[in-house]
Structure 1
Amino acid sequence: MLTLLLVAGGLTLGYLTGRIRPARALSDWAERLPWRRPGFSRREWRWWVAQPVYAVQIAVLLATRPRHTIQVWREWRRRHDPRPPVPVPKIRTIPLDEP
């Protein structure tokens, strides 16, 4: 009888967790913070609460899709690297005594 109650409780908990989706709601909350409040900075408690959410998201991505996550990160880094310096044009000097 106890086993039946534990199984029923586990199924109910799993169903409710699937319906409510607390991880999705927390992730959406953290993603909306910078857009909802333009003055969003480290001085607010919301910023400090959102940082572990971002860290967990990155850890889940690295654990579930490591090659894709690293590839996307490298592409982003390549797009945002500073451009190579423009070469300096060479100036030819012409002697003044030649016509």
Structure 2
Amino acid sequence: MTLTHALAGLAILTAGYLIGRYRPAHRTSDWAHWQRYGPRPTGLRNAAVWTVLSAENIGWLITHPRQGRHAWKRHNDPPPRRSPAVRINTRDDQET
């Protein structure tokens, strides 16, 4: 291993560390999610939001295929039955 290889490896590790600290994908994802709460995005901003959210969803499906399939199968299930209402018994003859 030469000095050039060592310096290149160190530069790659440093760049990876700095990108990990900056977290550009996380910041982009947060930006795309917040665009859904303001005025509706139009034009290029709408395309950018749609692309970021689609890439995020596709990435999640690639890394979690089993959970994604389970969620897809269950997405139209009816809501679970509610438990019966709580009964509160009141006593008319209170002891004093």
Q: So what's the TM-score if we normalise by structure 1?
A: 0.68
* Equivalent AA in structure 2 for residue 46 of structure 1: R
Gaps of 5+ in 1: 81-99
Give per-residue Cα distances to partners, 1:32-74, cap 9 Å, x unaligned: 1011x1x304x33211111111121111111110110121233
Specify the alignment match of 1:87 in structure 2.
Answer: none
Moved over 6 A (4+): none
Match of 2:33 in 1: 31
Q: Compared with structure 1, are the counterparts of its residues 62 and 47 closer, same or farther at alpha carbon in structure 2 (3 Å cutoff)?
A: same
The Cα of 1:79 is off from its aligned counterpart by 4.7
Query: Which of the two has greater helix per residue?
Result: 1
Partner of 1:45: 44
The aligned amino acid for 1:40 is: R
Alignment of 1:76-87 (within 5 A): 76-79=75-78
How far apart, in 2, do the equivalents of 1:62 and 1:25 lie? 20
Q: Give ranges in structure 2 of 5+ residues lacking alignment.
A: 80-96
With the length of structure 2 as denominator, give the TM-score of the two structures: 0.70
Question: Is structure 2 residue 11 aligned with structure 1 residue 9?
Answer: yes
